[in-house]
Amino acid sequence: KAAMEADRAAGKRPSEELFVRPAQAFQKANRTNEMLDALTMRVQDYPTAATWRNLLYIMLQQAGGDKDLNLDVLRLMRATDSMTDRPEYAEYAALAIDAGYPGEVVSIVKQGQSKGVIPKSDTHFSGILSSQEPRAASDAAAVAADAGKPATLSNPKAARATADALVGNGQAAKAIPLYEAALKAGGGSDPLVLYRLGVAQALTGQNDAAIASFGKVQGPRQKLAQLWTVHVKTKTAPAAAPAAPATGG
């Protein structure tokens, strides 16, 4: 850290080795939290798709069997353009199907196809599209109708679920008032709602508001909120040099 601070004081970006070597040492010592801290500092100075993938791949492993948390990690991986392999798209699609977000399923599969990660001939994903596209169309209409109902706005659980679906459908701006209503109806401190509100704000370019929302998040998504904050602050930064591998994944 002293070397990093010295570099920054001199107007230089710290060498990537100053992040990579400690991260590798922490990994060998099974000091996972400190490893994640080192890799988080790394993406602040080297916010490339490769460095984000390295960090978020480890976050996926740490999430264990929490499907909802895994889905949020994959969403950040998508936002940082660091989904590069077929299995990530397969897991994302499976989790979004389980959670009941057909519009998001269709969107992520088509993104994988457009990037060339998923061949159009891939029968697994073709089957997903054939089953989810009709559901996505009917679900989008139902979600739009629910979004305008007073009963939705006054029920924190319904407001949050509707907002989640809107974000999955690519309508983050329309989700923000619903998250705000969910917070108001629920007492204003639900960490999941605060986190998802921050994501919606980040996706719509409301960076200062997003950072403020993420700063209030406690609990299992606190680390993800910190990473979203890093992403918001660095996404307009100039591209860095190609990343050196730090840890497995």
pTM of the model: 0.89
Our CA angle for 206, 52, 70, nearest 5°, is: 80
User: What 3-state class would DSSP assign to 169?
Assistant: coil
pLDDT of the chain, 249 residues: tens digit per residue: 888 888 888 888 888 888 988 989 998 898 988 999 989 999 998 999 999 999 999 999 887 789 999 999 999 999 999 999 999 999 999 999 999 999 999 999 999 999 999 999 999 999 999 999 999 999 999 999 999 899 999 999 999 999 999 999 999 999 999 999 999 987 778 999 999 999 999 999 999 999 999 999 999 999 999 999 999 998 855 444 444 445 554
Find tokens 């108001």 and name the residue.
184
d(CA 85, CA 13): 30
Q: Show the tokens assigned to 28.
A: 């060998």
